[in-house]
Amino acid sequence: MNTTNVRYCKSPAVKMLETLAMDEARRRYPTVPYLAPRTFRDDTANGLTKCIIAFLKLEGWQAERINTTGRPVNHTKSYTDVMGVRRTIGRFEWVYGTGTRGSADISATIAGRSVKIEVKAGKDRQSDHQREYQRQVEAAGGIYVIARNFQQFNDWYAQNFSK
pLDDT by residue (tens digit) across 58-88? 999 999 999 877 888 999 999 999 989 999 9
Asked if residue 73 lies in contact with residue 95, where contact means CB atoms within 8 angstroms, the answer is: yes
- The model's pTM is 0.82
**Backbone phi, then psi, for 32, in 5-degree steps?**
-85, 120
Question: CA nearest 74: which of 88, 89, 92, 87?
Answer: 92
- Asked whether residue 2 is assigned to any structural domain, the reply reads no
- Asked whether residue 130 is assigned to any structural domain, the reply reads yes
- Asked whether residue 146 is assigned to any structural domain, the reply reads yes
Please write the tens of the pLDDT for every residue from 81-108: 998 999 998 898 888 877 788 899 999 9
> What is the CATH number for 126?
3.40.1350.10
- Give the 3-state secondary structure of 20-48: HHHHHHHHHCCCCCCCCCCCCCCCCHHHH
Residue 41 pLDDT > 80: yes
Question: CA nearest 54: which of 70, 38, 66, 67?
Answer: 38
Q: Give the distance between the most distant pair of CA atoms in the chain.
A: 72
Asked if residue 73 lies in contact with residue 97, where contact means CB atoms within 8 angstroms, the answer is: no
Number of domains in the chain: 1
Residue range(s) defining the domain that contains residue 58: 12-69+100-161
- Asked whether residue 19 is assigned to any structural domain, the reply reads yes
Residue 132's contacts (CB-CB under 8 Å, 6 or more residues apart) are 102
- Asked whether residue 64 is assigned to any structural domain, the reply reads yes
DSSP letter (8 states) at residue 4: P
Q: Mind giving me the DSSP string for 90-129?
A: --EEEE--SSPTT--SEEEEETTEEEEEEE--TT----HH
- Asked whether residue 4 is assigned to any structural domain, the reply reads no
- Asked whether residue 94 is assigned to any structural domain, the reply reads no
- Asked whether residue 93 is assigned to any structural domain, the reply reads no
pLDDT for the residue numbered 61? 96
Q: Is 142 exposed, middle or buried (0-12, 13-18, 19+ CB in 10 A)?
A: middle
Which secondary-structure segment (H or E) carries 139?
helix 128-139
pLDDT for the residue numbered 28? 95
